[in-house]
Amino acid sequence: MVALGTLLLFGLLLTAPPGLGQGRRRRAPPPQSPLEKVAAQEELSLPQLAGMWFLVSMASRCSYLSEHSHRLEATAMTVSVLDGQSLAISTFRKLDGMCWEIRQCYLPAQAHGRFLLKGRGHGSKVDVVVGETDYSSYAILYYQKGRSISVKLYGRTSRLSDAVVDKFEQRVRAVGLSEDVTYYFPVYGFCDSADEFHILDEMKA
């Protein structure tokens, strides 16, 4: 059985933050965060965002993702609105042939359309931006851990139009990623539930 840490890595599919800065002399102003350049969806409607989404594609420099891209599994998530501001996210995917559920909470950040995902352990904070969605067919989400950024394309169905895919690839290039680190996920074999022994609940972190 693969360790839960590996499962969570696959659930988040995020890169690790870079090393700490060196030296203490003359502290330069911090460079602009990659996500600060990303605009959030205007007037984001959380109720319309709720429901089932299928992971269609992801762009990330995650080395684990690159090395295991041939083993990508169909991945889906359900979104629920907790208190009018926070999102409860359940991600479903297979691991070793078993369906797992990863539960997470996206807490509201300072600006509308921006969220904070806190994991277990120090330094595991992830910033999330809902960059673009039409609610009925696609959603583009950005994730940043440290200074490493990833972009995910979700669809209400597992297949999206070429126009939407082209738009996603444009957003990927805009944050400095490329098609070399863009991966497309299987369109069949989805899980929509998991038994109590295969639930990783990060909401209790």
Res 21 pLDDT > 50:
no
Global pTM value: 0.84
Tell me the per-residue pLDDT of 119-171, one tens digit each, with 9 for 90 and over. Answer: 765 557 899 999 999 999 999 999 999 889 999 999 999 999 999 999 999 99
Kindly state the percentage of the chain with pLDDT values over 70: 81
Gap between the Cα atoms of 129 and 111, Å rounded: 10
pLDDT at position 109: 92
pLDDT at position 29: 59
Gap between the Cα atoms of 106 and 98, Å rounded: 25
Res 9 pLDDT > 80:
no
Tell me the per-residue pLDDT of 59-90, one tens digit each, with 9 for 90 and over. Answer: 999 988 889 888 899 999 999 999 889 999 99
Gap between the Cα atoms of 83 and 203, Å rounded: 14
pLDDT at position 19: 41
Res 11 pLDDT > 90:
no
Mean pLDDT of the chain: 86
Res 27 pLDDT > 90:
no
pLDDT at position 143: 97
DSSP strand pairing (87-95 vs 75-81): antiparallel
pLDDT at position 118: 82
Which residue type sits at 204? K
Q: For 102-137, b where at least 16 C-beta lie within 10 A, e where not — what string? A: bbbbbebbeeebbbebebeeeebebbbbbbbbeeee
Kindly state the percentage of the chain with pLDDT values over 90: 65
Fold for 38-204, please state it. Answer: Lipocalin (2.40.128)
Tell me the per-residue pLDDT of 37-49, one tens digit each, with 9 for 90 and over. Answer: 899 999 999 999 9
Res 93 pLDDT > 70:
yes
